[in-house]
Each structure stands twice: as structure tokens, then as C-alpha cells.
Amino acid sequence: MTSTHMSRRAFGHAAVAGTAALATGLALPGHRARAAPMPPLPPLDPAALQAVIDDRAAPASTAAQLRIGGTAGHWHGTSGLADLGSRRPVRAGDRVRVGSVTKVFVATVVLQLVAERRLTLDTPVRRILPGLLPDRFGAITVAHLLNHTSGLPDHVGIPEPETAEEVFRHRFDHWTPREWVATATRGPLKFAPGTRQEYRGINYVLAALIVDTLTGRPYGEAVAARVLRPLGLTRTAVPGDERRIRGRHVHGYLRTAEGRLRDITAYDQSSARGEGDMISTVDDVDRLLTALFSGELLPPRLLRLMFTLPPDEVRMLDGSPARYSTGLQQAAVNGVVLWGKTGETYGYKNAAFSTSDQSRRFVLAYHPTTVRDGAESQMIARVADLLTRDAGGAG
């Protein structure tokens, strides 16, 4: 069995997630499955699942929600407090910031536009967004943005908080999309587009600007019209310039140097526009995965791209295999291949994953109180291990 340590790596920034060969034979609409047999999934253990989300010491967290779905069983549980001031417990349907799960929505809309022949994946980004990228970035295409192979330079001149106090100092900084893009265009490309993979939020800031341009309205309106309303995702929203979360929600907190927990829920998300700014619930995200994987949102040929990694020769910068497809990421835990997305912003951490055949899905939302110290993915790792461990294997 895959160790819990490996499970943690699978969901962290330094993860090693499977190979492209595992992505070529998935059970998609109109596509015959040829993948290696998946190990048997264990039966759901409600007591163990509750214990996982009740263990809010590693990482230190104030609350957690977990929804399990799929043909192999269903379960839902909550733990902790949504609001430390009022002592209100977390309840089903509470909204949270979903961070980079936003990218799944944006990639879906871009692929819908491809299906409508409004653009192609090979279209140069500069052709759609003239004047935004320098001439030397002319080789970057829409496909390179969606699967993180663009090679865009690192940001220059942006805050990089390392303590809770620094986070609060910059919590209401506001950036226009063009200002934010400009911070990542000052140097040379880190690699030729399409030759390496590096996970970068700026790719999806640009993808959202493409949606703006092609639809003639803010990307959030396109997401609402094309995904949220058709699927009935009534508690999911793109906040725009709204700093707070409307309606019933879980608060996020950070622990200061003095040891107190300070509310970080209200936050300017302008620097995460299109790549990490959306608000949703575990139920709505579960519905998104179900619809997406079932072929309700995309034709088969484009849906297949979401389950296809770059060629084997395209590696992450650290030399490990590529693990990001068009809009999703792959994680292999205990021999079970999962597809989905993690997400985080200060006070909020999320994971939404499923097997390609939807025998097992899980959506987890919890609330670490540290400033990204490298331990934030531990709860995801424990959940993934429990849900995939071979019932006949070692514990």
C-alpha cells in the first residue's frame, strides 16, 4: 500500500502523481477504458471518517467538512466551529472560499468556448489579448495556460507574506488583472512553452481574461450562465470585488505571533481573479464533479483532455512527472488514480477528487490557522488514504 507520507506528497506542491499512461484509457463518454485494473476500494467507515475530520491538530484547524459520493457509498460529516465568536457549529451548506478549485470552473468554460469554435487550444494568447503579453511570449497558446506549461516568469514586486501579521497587512491590497499580469511578464520565459510544467496561478488569470474578451462580460457572469445556473449551484459565486462572503459561511482564521486566532474571512481576492477567488460549498463542488465527469458540461473529445497529462517527456521543474492536465490534477494514492483539484487561500483549504468512473468521490473543506507552513495538506492525505486503502492490505 502507498504510505501516508506518499499520500501527503500526492496532494502537496512537490507531489509526484502518476504518469500519462494512466490517463489514456479512462472511462469517459464514448471512450473505451483500457486502464490497469484499480485496486478494490474499502467500504466506508463512518467512525473512522469522522475521526479524520475531528483530528484538527495536524494541521491546526478550526473546522472541517467532508462529503463522500460515488457508486461505492455516500457519507457526510462536519467538525468544529464555523464562527469562533458565536460558537456556531459548521453545518451542511456553509459556504467557504474554494481557492484553486476555481480553475476547474474556468477551464470548463474555456473548453466550452473551444467546442463552440470561438477559439482553439492552439490559438496564441497574444492574438486574443493583444498588448497584454510581450512579443517574446508569442509562442504561448491557450493550451499552455490550461495545463501549466506556459513557462511564464515568476512574479516581481508583489507581497509575499510569511507571517500572519504580514497577511493582515496586505489583506485589502487591490490589483487590476492587467496590473497583476504585468508583475509576471518582466523577465524571460522560464522554459519554452510546452516543454516543462510548472503550476502557476497566473495562467488562469489569463484564461479568465480570455473568457472576458470572448464573451464580452466578466468571467464570473460566463461561469454563472454556463455552469452555475444549469447545474443549480445556488450557493456558488464569483465574488468580484466583494471582500466578504455573503450568506451562511465558515470563517477563516490565522494564528498571530501572540497566539490568538484572528478572523481572515474578509479578503480582497483581486490577485486571485480566475485562479482562486470563487466561493462554494462541498455539496455544490460535489455536484460540479459529478456533472463534469458524467459528460454534462463538455463533449467527449474535450472532456478527455481533462484526463490527459502532457507527454512523458514534459516534466515538472524538479524532474518529477507532470501531474496537471487541462483544468485538473492527478493524484495516485494506494494505487488508486484520482482526478480533481486542491485549493487554498488564507484560512481555507479544499480538495475535490474522484476516480474517473465516479465509484468514489470526495470533497473536503477545512480551515488551517497557519500561513502555509507545508503541513496544510495533511488532512487531505489522511482522507485520501482512508478512502483508497485496499480493504485486504495493511493498515
CATH number at residue 303: 3.40.710.10
On whether residue 393 sits in a domain, the answer given is no
In the predicted model, what is the mean pLDDT of the chain? 90
Tell me which residue range forms the domain holding 371: 4-388
Other residues' Cβ atoms within 10 Å of the Cβ of residue 395: 5
Residues forming beta bridges with residue 79, ordered by sequence position? 64
**183: burial class by Cβ within 10 Å (0-12, 13-18, 19+)?**
middle
CA 182 to mean position of chain CA atoms = 24
On whether residue 233 sits in a domain, the answer given is yes
Model confidence pLDDT, tens digit, residues 106-145: 999 999 999 999 999 999 999 999 999 999 999 999 999 9
On whether residue 395 sits in a domain, the answer given is no
Residue 214's Cβ-side half-sphere holds a number of Cα atoms within 13 Å equal to: 24
Burial 80-106 (b: 16+ CB within 10 A, else e): bbbbeeeeeebeeebbbbbbbbbbbbb
pLDDT of residue 11: 58
Alpha helices (H) along 12-67: 46-54
On whether residue 394 sits in a domain, the answer given is no
Model confidence pLDDT, tens digit, residues 285-343: 999 999 999 999 999 999 999 999 999 999 999 999 999 999 999 999 999 999 999 99
On whether residue 282 sits in a domain, the answer given is yes
Q: Are 223 and 238 in contact (CB under 8 A)?
A: yes
Q: Are 368 and 386 in contact (CB under 8 A)?
A: no
